[in-house]
Structure 1
């Protein structure tokens, strides 16, 4: 039988999608002032307030969870200063005090100004002890979820003159493998790179990964 915990977190996530916006819009001037005076502390204040109704929802469902925001139960290590990712975790227990799972709060924020480049969201994790949680967060697939929508608030993104997008190709090494004759054919590599260049992508680096070669490309983001 599958655990009901992921569904519980999805329900909490729907509440989160409302609460973070309500607090942000209602308290924006105060949060801007706190950021100007105390920096990133403003994000902690914001998180504490918008997580209160989320934790209350879980408690009403008969679960036990500490509300607010405990910086020690979080980690920040991904992304540029303008779109830094912090993940906080909330261990959820049932009425018998048995761990049901961990609710992850994914928050993107800027260190340059008080800015929310992406909407926060909740993820479910089976692990409940600190070391296992940290190990799970070190695996990108547990945080970078293409199956979930990612909202970027309109009008809350700082202006930038130059913007870039990036892509990777894990198949480039195929063009570097020797033919049956033992030689290398440059046209295969030319063809592989030209297919990217045709659409404006520039090769900026390569790196080995096991038996594969990862190619990194970038191109300017077109202004609409």
Structure 2
């Protein structure tokens, strides 16, 4: 897999290029992280439940966050976003969806937009029922992004 910086030089420095790069990374690594850290994650879930998913996110998304920084992007808040700002889509215990977001800032040029990350999880046992999904938005105002996410009005969210 190429680096994000290489992807930018080939396809342009856009939010779409960023999302495509991140989604490819997720598709290639989300199961591997689950398998490699399953015992640790299940132990965390048995002790304190939800923080197991925070740990999973950290393990999966830290390399992406590092790539974003290396490409000169500033994430506000840090990629994929923060738990206090995130929104949970309620549904069956076995398939909840937590939506995170961050705005991508560039030095001396306009902001790229926002990354919206959907993490699917199970409240009854440690399980990731579907691969995480990353979507893009041209929005950069945190309050507006939160409102749009709550309404599932970000393009692509309606299908989840």
Which ranges of 4 or more aligned residues in structure 1 deviate by more than 3 Å?
none
Provide the aligned C-alpha RMSD in A.
2.2
| CA displacement 1:118-173 (0-9 Å, x = unmatched) | 11011001112222112211333531348xxxxxxxxxxxxxxxxxxxxxxxxxxx
Q: Shift of residue 75 of structure 1?
A: 0.8
For the pair shown, the structure with the greater C-alpha radius of gyration is: 1
Change (3 A) 1:64 1:97: farther
Higher RCO, Cα 8 Å, sep 6+: 2
Q: Could you state the TM-score of these two structures normalised by the residue count of structure 2? A: 0.81
Q: Pick from 16, 22, 31: which aligns with 1:12?
A: 22
Give the structure with the higher percent strand: 1
Structure 2: 5+ residue stretches without partners: 1-12
Which residues of 2 match residues 71-82 of structure 1 at below 5 A?
71-82=83-94
Asked whether the equivalents of residues 90 and 103 of structure 1 are also in contact (C-alpha less than 8 Å), the reply is yes
TM-score w.r.t. length of structure 1: 0.59
SS at match of 1:81: coil
1:106 partnered with 2:118: yes
Higher helix share: 2
User: How many positions carry a matched residue from both structures?
Assistant: 145
Q: CA deviation at 1:59?
A: 2.0
Give distance in 2, aligned partners of 1:93 and 1:71: 20
